[in-house]
Amino acid sequence: MLEGVIEIVAGVLILAGAFFVLVSALGLLRLPDLFMRMHAATKAGTLGAGLVLFAAALFFGELAVSIKAAVVFLFLLLTAPVAAHVLGRAAYYAGVTLWDRTMLDELRGKYDESTDEHDGPGAGSPAPSDR
């Protein structure tokens, strides 16, 4: 009885995880600029993979499997945002254009390429709010 319930719950979790991974692939194709694609691509990894890992731990119900799943999830949490940040930052300073419906860019003009310095708020030119 309990085994059946666990199987069903694990199945649902795996489907939900796969759904989020599918959505991220879809987002990668559909979204208009690099930053928004990063939103779709890097995060679904966290939740999608997390759900699948959780389902695996639940299904096998063994300590060794659970610990492995937890460690894999931990490494995902540690590495995904670093990669996303580095890619996003590099892209921004390489001059990747933002989507034309982007409302506000408060980072514009805050970076001095010749001195490699970033100013805090207040300096730099005001952001174009109604392009």
Partner 1 sequence: MRLFGLNMVLALVWAMAGGVITLGTLAFGFVVGMAVLHFVGPVLGDERYALRFVLAIGLLFFFLKELVLSSVRVAIDVIKPSLTMRPAVVSVPLALTSDAQITLLANLISLTPGTLSVDVSDDKSCLYVHAMYGEDAEALRRGIKADFEHRIAEVFR
Residue numbers at the binding site for partner 1 (CB under 8 A): 19-20, 23-24, 26-27, 30-33, 35-36, 38-40, 42-44, 46-47, 63, 77, 80-82, 84-85, 88-89, 92, 98-99, 101-108, 110-111, 117-121, 127
The two tokens of residue 35 are 């930053």
Rounded distance between C-alpha atoms, residue 1 and residue 88, angstroms: 49
> At closest approach, how far in Å is the CB of 99 from partner 1?
6
Question: What is the three-class DSSP state of 117?
Answer: strand
Q: Nearer Cβ to partner 1, position 8 or 123?
A: 123
Element (H, E) at 62: none
Supply angle C-alpha 98, 102, 107, rounded to 5: 70
> At closest approach, how far in Å is the CB of 78 from partner 1?
8
